[in-house]
Structure 1
């Protein structure tokens, strides 16, 4: 594509100089590490880094044009000035990569908890129908069967558009995308044509970024308010799916022009679960969809996973998948790494690794385990550094009140002192209750497992699928499942 053709999508711009030598674009990027000859570099004023500082570096690497929103002075290449480079990036990347979201069915999932599990369930349903699928989220990006690493739950819009273009190239027909609140505020999904938007739940998280719960709620609402305002004659309209048991759903319903589907357990909903029975190796429940009823025996554990299943079922249902096929796929779904992942041993004790890093997530995990636990419940928990300080005492209080033995330890301390993080957690421990403090996470996991007797369960919470620990600015390999297995082997030797 020629630069002059691409720039037509920007209605309001100033090009300096007005006349320039046109060229065929090799790449559009906001990352100087990606720049190659004949690239267009977009200078983004980010949360921590200002891309305008790296313009000369981009030019040295071969950028032939710069998109900027701040004065740059004289440059060796043409500069296109716009009001907002984030918005320009969304427009340019969508055009450069051929608007790939229009070529497949795109399902976006937002909410505090459950996004990863719900997107994986949706993906499993479509794969079970023989469809080629795409997945974008916390754990990775997957294009058909190709798995790519990801830095954020929802990547920047250029990476996302590029990923979706590759999906279209290999014949992906459905893509499930985790949509974080931060991504919505930063415009990382601007230009993505979502067909279905799913809301899981709303509890405290990301207040280090959003500052208030009202700001956080507004961020989540953007997925639904941006879902499309036009209706087609064929009736092939956008659909917003809401958890009717979450009070925030009503607010979000008012923000969308899309057709609405509801699911729930407690309150009346179009898709509803009842007669729920949770046990150590799965969950049984009845599913009612209008006048049709189904009984499900699934491998996932817990009430919150019933909500996740309802959300995934709803998305597949409105996408046109037969209900019996959806039920069959969900019964075959074995779970997601680091989401209530069971680690067994010959000692009779077991461990569960879970990504419960929010107060609500931790409470859900502990409540679920307490429903089927025969022996004592241990909880190994920490809080991340450089993140929401307010949730630290809340997490600690939930841990000590819902388990028999709590161990506070490091999570991803980042640039904070682990001790200061745990000191903040300890302020939430009620009088008369206590927790053991072990700063070393490996030692904390090992101690809990060594203490656990037959039928006891050790919840290792907070990191889930993560295979690293961030200390300072460096990632060190650390996998809770690996550490639990090592500790069990050591226990069995003794």
Structure 2
């Protein structure tokens, strides 16, 4: 059972001298720490967070009534029956307290943080695979799930809140894991969700347009990503863990990040630059091959994954694990054994591809790869999410129109917006004769599959691994891959009838 004394909180929090003095004399034990009123139990510390939809400050008395003996707030509240501690930033306090409460678990792990617009999920899975082959047990935190302990947790955000992160890392330590590969989103960095995590290696994949509904400007989006590298390795104290930044040097923003970090840097690329390079790249319908060059040596690589973007993903994972002393031959063997990641260029029989591509750059990369092996038509089923960056909507439609023979525009997660209105914004200025629009996503997928023949490729883009569709504020079960498999199963039954 995790226990922390109230007096132990003194050096962790930004407190005035009188409050520090008062707390130092309080030796009551905290048996629980939580920002969630539903999780408050006897002898809890409740941290009141002001979120987008919920303000914990309005529920302090309820937390006390449920058993909280200490409450951390940002401003005075009307409540009694517990120790009330005011700090300038409760979200930062939550991170500080969580690290202490869970015993600073990241200090006992090799932690790999991967950030960038595209590739985070694939790179973290490749890193975990390499480490596993090298007999270094590795947990994962990311878009698909968090796993590493006895329980696999469903992901609510790509990067969880600081309390949840420490909880997951603690579970990994107790499960005997030696490493964690973690997706680190720009929003997570901006909001301080990874504060207190002792990253050993930070990976930058790329930067293209996304999340501008949150960051407002592309420069602000970049600055959020750069935080991971600015906060990495700002000490050269002997005995501390070595820090390395693994950076895509082909991306102009990667070049800028090199100057932002005090850590050691390993650069990678495919255009003749970088300490780690891929040359002679060849993409086929069976995979991707290239020559990998590092430290004056060259190695042949034959991936089962397809596309130039997966070459970058493989280089990122190679670099991240190579700096920890894993032999190139071991890394390459692990990379070559990977058949795919759920919802990331996931190939379903009859050459149907389900991919998470939900940004202009992501969609362009996937279609570019498909064009290298498609023999006939390319069907592209794609939409744009509601309540998100509207500027990319016409870009997505234009890319689908230019890089596929049969673009079909449909709904993604419309949320509070009208799906038809979203498609209107996507196709503004385009000739209606050049595309098909079907706002019902299942109907759009079935339509593409019904027209596709031998040698054709159907890309279903935008949702990838997701098993839901958000309409209004409700999540409805919806899985692109499941829709495809059900379609073919029904077709088989009809043929047999």
TM-score range, shorter chain: over 0.9
2:22 matches 1:7 = no
Match of 2:253 in 1: 248
Q: Which runs of structure 2 are paired with 1:40-439 in the superposition (5 Å)?
A: 40-143=45-148, 146-233=151-238, 237-345=242-350, 350-427=351-428, 430-431=430-431, 434-439=434-439
SS in structure 1 at match of 2:77: coil
Q: What TM-score do you get using the length of structure 2 for normalisation? A: 0.95
d(CA) in 2 for partners of 1:414, 1:438: 17
Distance in 2 separating the partners of 1:144 and 1:324: 29
Shift of the alpha carbon at 1:131? 2.0
User: What do residues 91-135 of structure 1 show as CA deviations (whole Å, max 9, x unaligned)?
Assistant: 111111111111111010000000000000000001112221111
Which residue number corresponds to residue 465 of structure 1? 465
Aligned equivalents of 2:455 and 2:259: distance in 1? Answer: 48
1:422 Cα deviation (Å)? 1.0
Separation of aligned partners in 2, 1:16 and 1:271: 50
Compared CA separation, residues 33 and 74, structure 1 to 2 (3 A): closer
* 1:472-491 Cα distance to aligned partner (Å, 9 max, x none): 11111111001011222344
1:350-406 CA deviation, whole Å, 9 max, x = no partner?
Answer: 210000011100111111101110110000001111111111111111111110111
Larger deviation, residues 468-477 vs 55-64: 55-64
Cα distance in structure 2, aligned partners of 1:433 and 1:89: 55
CA contact (8 A) 2:150 2:175 kept: no
C-alpha displacement of 1:38: 1.3
CA contact (8 A) 1:354 1:459 kept: yes
Structure 1: how far apart are the matches of 2:393 and 2:422? Answer: 8
- Deviation of 1:145 (Å): 6.5
Change in 2 beyond 3 A, CA 1:376/1:57: same
The two structures have a TM-score, normalised by structure 1, of: 0.96
State the Cα deviation string for residues 416-470 of structure 1 (Å, max 9, x = none): 111111111112x545863211111110000000011111111000000111111
Task: Tell whether the 8 Å contact from 2:149 to 2:171 is kept in structure 1 after alignment.
Answer: no
Q: Distance in 2 between matches of 1:70 and 1:267?
A: 55
1:30 maps to what in 2? Answer: 35
Displacement of 1:54 in angstroms is 2.1
SS in 1 for 2:29: coil
Once the 2 structures are TM-superposed, how far is the Cα of residue 178 of structure 1 from its aligned partner? 0.4
Where structure 2 has 5 or more consecutive residues not aligned to the other structure, the ranges are: none
| Shift of residue 237, structure 1, vs aligned partner | 2.6
- Kept in 2, the 8 Å contact 1:450–1:491? The answer is no
1:252 offset after TM fit, Å? 1.0
| More displaced stretch, 10-19 vs 335-344 | 10-19
Q: Give the aligned partner of residue 477 of structure 2.
A: 477
- Whether the 8 Å contact between 1:207 and 1:216 is mirrored in structure 2 is yes
SS in 2 for 1:380: strand
Once the two structures are superposed, residues 269-304 of structure 1 have per-residue CA deviations (whole angstroms, 9 ceiling, x without a partner) of 111001111111211111001211110111101000
Paired residues of 1:87 and 1:187 also in contact (CA < 8 A): yes
Q: How far apart are the structure 2 equivalents of 1:471 and 1:323?
A: 47
- Report the number of matched residues: 489
Counterpart contact for 1:272–1:288, Cα < 8 Å: yes
Residues 262, 269 of structure 1: 8 Å contact kept: yes
Q: Return the offset for 1:6.
A: 2.6
Distance 2:21 2:156 in 1: 36
Specify the SS of the correspondent of 2:340. coil
1:141 is paired with a residue whose SS is strand
The one-character-per-residue Cα deviations of 1:60-92 (angstroms, maximum 9, x if unpaired) are 222211100022034221110001111111111
SS of corresponding position for 1:123: helix
In the alignment, which residue of structure 2 is the partner of 1:441? 441
Question: How much has 1:28 moved relative to structure 2?
Answer: 1.0
Q: Give how far 1:235 is off.
A: 8.6
SS at match of 1:373: coil
Q: Is the 8 A contact 2:208 2:361 kept in 1?
A: yes
Further displaced range: 143-152 or 372-381? 143-152
